[in-house]
Amino acid sequence: MPTTLRRTPLHERHVAAGARMAPFAGWEMPLQYEGVLGEHMAVRETCGIFDVSHMGQIETGGEQALALLQRLLSNDVAAIDFSLGTGGAIGTGGAQYSVLCREDGGLLDDLFSYRIDGERYLTVTNAANHARDLEWFEAHAQDFSAVTLTDRIADYAMLAVQGPLARSIVQAVSDAPLPARMSASRRRLAGAEALVCGTGYTGEEGVELLCDPADAPALWDELLRRGATPAGLVARDTLRMEACFHLYGNDLSTERGPIEAGLGWCCKEQTGFIGAEAVRAVREAGAAERFVAFALEDRGIARPGNRIAGGGEVTSGTLSPSLGIGIGLAYVPAGSARPGSRLEIDVRGKMRRAVVREKPLYERSSAGG
């Protein structure tokens, strides 16, 4: 355990804005600024900006970069394309979500990988898992002679700009059109070099920006000046729960595999990734439990660790700022996993009624009317 918390390059900005700071995975991070509900709705209605510089990056390069990543990551890494820019323009690479499994299928992390050049990939890790992921990458890289692994966590600040206005706000400071959803490319943003990624964790349009830590404060200031609202980790959590994105440590752990977690779609067993045989066995036999989204029908807020009558447990829960009701994510017996299934959740001694809902619980198209 680190004895002192790490600080992001935006620490002074957060303190000056009156953010409530708290330890998170060894980092001192902003939980909230003015208020969670306003930050959440800013992302849903206009644009929010998150400092996620605590997230880690591992760069994999060399002739066998693809071969190593295909062994480590559950998805088909060969499907991530990279197109050279025409006439000397900067190239654009694909983005891909995957999980990192142990041999037994237990989940070590969930990750986005970006192809940043023909033979270079950048994989973004969860802060709490970064050191373990890096060790895992390095241990398996021993089998590949033509691979270079680089820990890039100290080289990048990371900003997530999310919301219906996010792309236009970032576009206004960019030297070229932004890369499309699920792709990544280098741009100059307000004069600073950045990797612009068409990804996010909120269920809204937006981008994630990786830049030199020294450039982050000026870029942050410029995006705020253009209308982005600073949002903290609590709003990030409520947004991702509405969008039904997993949070490692809550919804994902070494105790469960990707099929149970509803992540079979990003597992391509034919690539022979570590854990593929275990994943295939569960996929063929059927998982005993399933990861579902639920909404409470009674008042109240279910929380992680709450037990479900008949088996299962809540792994994420909050009051949905967008919907105004208690929502959450849970593992339930496969027989109770169908949307519409009734659940009874033990919320600190009170049984609360809930119903399994289709994922996501909130999506932009449902916001109209």
Partner 1 sequence: MADASYPSELLYHPEHDWARVEGEEATLGITWYAQEQLGEVVFFEPPAPGTSVSKDAPYAEVESVKAVSDVIAPLSGEIVAVNEALADDPSAINEDPYGEGWLVRVRLSDPSERDALMDAASYSSSVGG
Can you give the binding site for partner 1, defined by CB under 8 A?
20, 31-32, 35-37, 234, 237-238, 299-301, 303, 318-319, 321, 326, 348
Which burial class, exposed, middle or buried, applies to 259 when counting CB atoms under 10 A from its CB (0-12, 13-18, 19+)?
A: buried
C-alpha–C-alpha distance, residues 59 and 118, integer Å: 13
Nearest-approach distance from CB 259 to partner 1, in angstroms: 30
Please list, in sequence order, all residues whose beta carbon lies within 8 angstroms of the beta carbon of residue 82, skipping any fewer than 6 positions away.
91, 92, 93, 94, 115, 117, 118
Could you tell me the smallest distance in angstroms from the CB atom of residue 179 to partner 1? 32
DSSP characters for 297-317? SSSS---TT-EETTS-EEEEE
Closer residue to partner 1, CB minimum distance, 324 or 368: 324
In the bound state with partner 1, the residue whose beta carbon lies nearer, of 203 and 258, is 203
Question: Residue 367's closest CA among 329, 325, 323?
Answer: 323
Q: How far is the CB of 301 from partner 1 (least distance, A)?
A: 5
Q: How far apart are CA 120 and CA 186, in angstroms?
A: 13
In the bound state with partner 1, the residue whose beta carbon lies nearer, of 61 and 328, is 328
Q: Minimum distance between the CB of residue 306 and partner 1, rounded to whole angstroms? A: 11
Rounded to whole angstroms, the Cα distance separating 115 from 92 reads: 8
- Of 32 and 98, which CB lies nearer to partner 1 in the complex structure? 32
The answer to whether the beta carbons of residues 316 and 241 sit under 8 Å apart is: yes
Least Cα distance to 91 among 212, 185, 226, 213 occurs for: 185
Q: Which is nearer to partner 1, 126 or 316 (CB)?
A: 316
Geometric angle at alpha carbon 72, from 69 and 76, rounded to 5°? 60
- Closest separation in Å from C-beta 307 to partner 1: 16
Please, which residue, 108 or 243, has the CB nearer to partner 1?
243
Q: How far is the CB of 319 from partner 1 (least distance, A)?
A: 4
Could you tell me the smallest distance in angstroms from the CB atom of residue 238 to partner 1?
5
Q: Which of 235, 204, 356, 209 is nearest to 289 (CA)?
A: 356
Based on CB atoms, which residue is closest to partner 1, 60 or 238?
238
What is the residue type of 118?
A: G
